[in-house]
Amino acid sequence: MTNILEVKDLCKTYVINKRQNNVLRNVNFSVSEGEMVAVMGPSGSGKSTLLYSVSGMDNITAGEVDFNGKNIAKMNQKELAELRLDEMGFIFQQMYMLKNLSVIDNIILPACQSGKVNETRKQTLERGYELMRKLGIIEVADNDINEVSGGQLQRACICRSMINKPKMIFADEPTGALNRTSSDEVMEELAKLNAEGTTIMLVTHDVKVAAKCTRVLYIVDGNIQGEYKLEKYDRTKLRDRERALNGWLMEMGW
Amino acid sequence: MYLRILKKDLKRKKTMNVILLIFVILAATFIASSANNLTTVNGALDNFFEKAEVPDYWFAVTNTPDMERFEDLAEENGYDYFNSRLIQIEPKNVTVAGKKCEYSNTLTLSKLGGINIFDKNDKELTEINDGEIYVTAFMYQSTENNYREGGKIVIKQGDVEKEFTIKGYVKDALMGTAMVGMTRFFVSKDDFKLFDTENAAVSNTVEVHTDDPDYLDKFNKLGLNTIMSIDGSMFKMMYLMDILIAAILLVVSVVLILISMVILRFIINFTITEEFREIGVMKAIGLKNRKIRGLYIVKYLGIAVIGTAVGLGLSFPLSNLMISGVSQKIVMSSGDNYLINIAAAILAGALVVLFSYFCTRKIKKFSPIDAIHSGETGERFSKKGIIRLGKSHLPTVPFMALNDIFSGIKSYVSMVIIFILGTLLVIIPVNTINTLRSDDLITLFNMTKSDHVVSAELLFNPNEDNKAKIERQFDEIRDFFADKGIDVDVFQEIMFRSNVKKGEKLTNSLTFIGMGGVTTNEYDYLEGTAPQNVHEVALTYLTAGQIDAHIGDDVQIKVGETEKTYTVTAITQSMNNMGEGVRFYQDEDLDFNYAAGSFGIQVNYKDNPDKSALAERKALLEKLYPAAKIYTPGEYIGYMIGNVAEQLDSMKTLILTIILGINALVAVLMVKSFITKEKSEIALLKAIGFTNAPLCGIQTLRIGIVLLISVIMGTLISIPLTPVIITPIFQMMGAFSIEYNIKALEVYVIIPLIMLGVTALAAYISAQGLRKISSSQISNNDS
């Protein structure tokens, strides 16, 4: 399988009150096309920083991040934004959406801005509806965002991340603000997307979430301490996957 | 704790606080200096008139029998009066600093006597040496003649010619403004004698001091052939333009105060909404509403105190600058009116504090639980945007700008109010100025439209055949153009001062007859039809009202020694002498030896020439009349009423600059506050791939759209508002029905474009601040 993301000696340092804080220290890993990678680790270990650094949302201090053959460390802000718009999808913990737009408008906004897919506004809208149908939230398409539940909103965020047919989706604790039922539903959708070929990298604290991935990276103090590979996700074997992952995590000091 | 919270607030909302401070400073400065200006000008006028001993009545007659009849009346009634002789001189016979004197009204030569005249240092002028000459201040200020101390003026009258040295300017309460339509040079008694020859056109001007309430009746009954007659109460009206300018500035100041308050309200609402959670926490730990409100009010008190103090400081030099133009014309009061500045500035500051107190009432409504739970204002979202991206064909940037506006119209109300006020503040004065400069305004001065006006006003000499003299001039112009194959109408307004009577009611009014190629049908009338024969006249509203005359009534009008009965066929309007006037039929036979004066010669080309042809013909007229000036009707009126239009023009620039500054500051304030408020949304948009350019575009476009809507609304409101505000001013001057000259290109295109350009630029520059927001700040509102 081809690597879509290759990270070499990635360092990220914040300077706060003249004090250096090395959040990421020489991180090396890669993600292959079609993988679903979870990043786990204790609070403050650098998980979200890693996600934001490799997705071009945050500048890196040193190292190389190669995304789909492009070194994003050498890109300026405009190029990075274009990369995020056309080739990446993002899902956040807090289901951020523009409150002045309806759910469907939030979903199709990146497509309308990008123009990557050569289509009319009507066709874009149709694609948006199709994604929503697929994720089972078509009934809230024209609602305002305050009129839908957290689970529905997070699925809408998944739709938005998918609208530009990205090469990879980055998700920062996508189920962190959801109850268990909604969390399971959202993860099922992500697993389905992955099964259809979308590469996903997510940050989570939840073993149940990580158990649906194909690989888990464990990070402590800005270093990847280890990785755990899982079989392709199979719902019927979820409990076994969770148990096995839990065991590994215990070994890692979780 | 107070100090820490304040410090944090001042640091976080630096731009907002600075902008509010600027507005408080501006408001305090302008309100203090314009209040000072208005009271100073008003008070100084009273003081000036008192010091100058301005008479209760003032008139001018040209012949001795009339003077003798008045002397009998004065003796009989014990009136205190002073008669001074004025020698009329033709501006073409006067050279100032080697150049022909430019003046199109009546120019006279006078010696000291009668009312008190003051020099530039407000000292009473008691003596003038031979060979010295003084010029009235408004003439001295005019840019058309190069008057300067030590400069030379040569006057030639008949066989007499003398060179004078300009000693300076004087403050002359009687002929101190262009509105009087007459001015004078002051020379020594001996020099005056030199020019007071048999052939000189001399008029007796009489200053009457009396408190007899029946004076006017008695005076009018004398039926004198006056060339000018002014009631004492009218003198102040002659300075109307100076008061008007002060009043306009006061209106600008009041608008600035209003704008400051709107901004204050916006900032307070914004701050309270943003700090909703903190307010909730303060309430939860037991702080009383008063204490929490005090926290905010203390800040605004601080801003008000600093703003008022700085504004007050700035208002002193500005006050002096504002009154400098007026103080050259009139004797100012001895004491400075700085107390007015202090009171007005404190009032402005107090209003700001009081308003902030009212605006913080909202704090009382919050419950601590709501605040802590939601962390926002606690209000549920109402239905958002009415437009849908999926159904719109707009690109994302204009769509989002429009959608934001439609989704939160309330947050744009402050901006809309400010922009509308600004638009009105620009458009109304511009419309007024354009109307004052319009060619059509000539119809309000007892004249009719023409292509050119030659400043060849006639000096009526009882020893000459004045009518023949006029006709000779007309022939000369007609022949001159006929030789070049151009057919022209040449005409001129001749003025008389006549008694107009209906039954027992009597008034004295200017009367007009159009001589040459003009008929009464060519003038504008408000009611009735133009006089069609020599027995018919049209009266202005004012004159008709004074004798209670209506259309169809018979009135008696006396010109010279002849009194005739005329039927009133029309009501008209005039701005001459604050509204008085009578129009005779063009063929009426009047004794021109009693004419009080004339306007310039008007020339109308029958072939409707275009602009370039008009320019060529102006050059031809200049050749024919090298000593005269050739005007368009608008220029001629501007010239007659003084440099008011020029003063208003510079005020137009000042107001436009202020409004552009205000709009730019408001745009900066709004964009900064939007960026602060929408930080996480901006970060989200950046995270999903929006670059800075479209995001700056959204911010700029929002302000641009709001400004555009406001300018359209302001423009629409200005249409009915312009007459409401301006008509009373014109009415004071005698014009009741004005056709406003609205220059659509300037008012509806150029000015809005300038406003839009400057405001959008300010918004765009301010929007660059969002570049600092990183996509990773999506989850951190405070970072």
Query: Which tens digits make up the pLDDT trace of B601-619?
Result: 999 999 989 999 999 999 9
What pLDDT is attached to residue B381? Answer: 45
- Chain B: give the shortest CA distance to residue A76, in Å: 11
Name the percent of chain B in helix, strand, coil, to the closest 5. Answer: 55, 20, 25
Contact B687 A92 (CB under 8 A): yes
Identify the residue among A77, A88, A100, A169 best suited for mutation to test binding to B, counting B beta carbons within 10 A and taking the highest: A100
- Amino acid occupying residue A3: N
Contact A81 B689 (CB under 8 A): yes
Across all residues in chain B, what is the average pLDDT?
A: 84
Contact B689 A110 (CB under 8 A): yes
The 10s digit of each residue's pLDDT in B151-165 is 999 998 888 899 999
- Amino acid occupying residue B160: V
Identify the residue among B384, B388, B389, B402 best suited for mutation to test binding to A, counting A beta carbons within 10 A and taking the highest: B389
> In chain B, which residues have their Cβ closer than 8 Å to the Cβ of A93?
779
What pLDDT is attached to residue B759? Answer: 92
- Chain B: give the shortest CA distance to residue A53, in Å: 9
> In chain B, which residues have their Cβ closer than 8 Å to the Cβ of A174?
none
> In chain A, which residues have their Cβ closer than 8 Å to the Cβ of B407?
100
Identify the residue among A23, A76, A82, A98 best suited for mutation to test binding to B, counting B beta carbons within 10 A and taking the highest: A98
Using CA atoms, how far residue A136 sits from A129, A159, B287, B399, B497, in Å, is: 10, 11, 48, 28, 94
- Distance between CA atoms of residues A90 and B688, nearest Å: 7
Among candidate residues A198, A181, A128, the one with its CA nearest the CA of residue A137: A128
Contact A82 B684 (CB under 8 A): no
The 10s digit of each residue's pLDDT in B31-80 is 888 888 778 777 778 888 888 888 999 888 877 788 888 999 999 998 99
> In chain A, which residues have their Cβ closer than 8 Å to the Cβ of B399?
112
Residue predicted with more confidence, B632 or B730: B632
- Distance between CA atoms of residues A14 and B66, nearest Å: 100
Tokens at B423, concatenated: 């638009």
- Distance between CA atoms of residues B581 and B513, nearest Å: 11
Identify the residue among B379, B688, B775 best suited for mutation to test binding to A, counting A beta carbons within 10 A and taking the highest: B688
Among candidate residues B423, B258, B418, B266, the one with its CA nearest the CA of residue B351: B258
The 10s digit of each residue's pLDDT in B388-441 is 888 888 899 999 999 988 888 888 888 898 899 889 888 888 888 788 778 888
What pLDDT is attached to residue B463? Answer: 64
- In this structure, is residue A118 part of a structural domain? no
Give backbone dihedrals phi and psi of B380, rounded to 5 degrees, phi first. Answer: -75, 150
Q: Is the pLDDT of residue B248 over 60?
A: yes
Domain residues for the domain of A51 are: 3-95+168-252
Instruction: Tell me the DSSP string of B227-277.
Output: EEEEEGGGTGGGGHHHHHHHHHHHHHHHHHHHHHHHHHHHHHHHHHHHTHH
Q: Is the pLDDT of residue B376 over 50?
A: no
Q: Is the pLDDT of residue B383 over 60?
A: no
- Rg of the Cα trace of chain B? 33
- In this structure, is residue A90 part of a structural domain? yes
Query: B684 to chain A: nearest residue by CA?
Result: A96
Residue B104 pLDDT grade (very low, low, confident, very high; cuts 50, 70, 90): low
CATH code assigned at A22: 3.40.50.300
Contact (Cβ atoms closer than 8 angstroms) between residue B631 and residue B453? yes
Kindly list the domain boundaries of chain B, sorted by start residue. 1-52+235-379, 55-234, 392-442+639-783, 452-631
Does residue B184 sit in helix, strand or coil?
A: strand
As a whole number, mean pLDDT of residues B352-359 equals 85
As a whole number, mean pLDDT of residues B301-328 equals 84
- Distance between CA atoms of residues A89 and A75, nearest Å: 18
> In chain B, which residues have their Cβ closer than 8 Å to the Cβ of A121?
389-393
The 10s digit of each residue's pLDDT in B655-676 is 889 889 888 988 988 898 888 8
Nearest Cβ partner of B385 from A101, A114, A122? A101
- Distance between CA atoms of residues B605 and B284, nearest Å: 85
Length of chain A: 254
Contact (Cβ atoms closer than 8 angstroms) between residue B661 and residue B358? no
The 10s digit of each residue's pLDDT in B312-325 is 999 888 888 777 76
Domain count, chain A: 1
Contact A99 B775 (CB under 8 A): no
Instruction: Give pTM, 2 decimals.
Output: 0.74
Contact B689 A121 (CB under 8 A): no
What pLDDT is attached to residue B583? Answer: 95
What pLDDT is attached to residue B129? Answer: 92
- Chain B: give the shortest CA distance to residue A247, in Å: 32
Which parts of chain A sit beneath pLDDT 50?
none
Tokens 């408000």 belong to residue: B526
As a whole number, mean pLDDT of residues B552-563 equals 90
Residue B374 pLDDT grade (very low, low, confident, very high; cuts 50, 70, 90): low
Tokens 């018919």 belong to residue: B536
* Interface residues on B facing A, Cβ-Cβ cutoff 8 A: 380-381, 383-385, 388-393, 395-396, 399-400, 403-404, 407-408, 680-681, 684-694, 774-776, 778-779
The 10s digit of each residue's pLDDT in B116-145 is 999 888 889 999 999 999 999 888 877 677
Contact A84 B694 (CB under 8 A): no
Nearest Cβ partner of A113 from B404, B690, B778? B690
- In this structure, is residue A132 part of a structural domain? no
Contact (Cβ atoms closer than 8 angstroms) between residue B390 and residue A105? yes
- Distance between CA atoms of residues B212 and B205, nearest Å: 20
What pLDDT is attached to residue B375? Answer: 46
- Distance between CA atoms of residues B126 and B119, nearest Å: 10
User: B600: which residues sit within 8 A by CB, 6+ positions away?
Assistant: B104, B453, B454, B455, B456, B457, B492, B628, B631, B636
- Distance between CA atoms of residues B334 and B320, nearest Å: 14
Nearest Cβ partner of A109 from B385, B396, B680? B396
Residue predicted with more confidence, B206 or B644: B206
As a whole number, mean pLDDT of residues B12-16 equals 77
What pLDDT is attached to residue B371? Answer: 59
Residue B55 half-sphere exposure, CB side, CA atoms within 13 Å? 25
Contact A121 B390 (CB under 8 A): yes
- Distance between CA atoms of residues B401 and B767, nearest Å: 13
> In chain A, which residues have their Cβ closer than 8 Å to the Cβ of B694?
113
Residue B378 pLDDT grade (very low, low, confident, very high; cuts 50, 70, 90): very low
Q: Is the pLDDT of residue B380 over 50?
A: no
Contact (Cβ atoms closer than 8 angstroms) between residue B335 and residue B373? no
- Distance between CA atoms of residues B330 and B115, nearest Å: 14
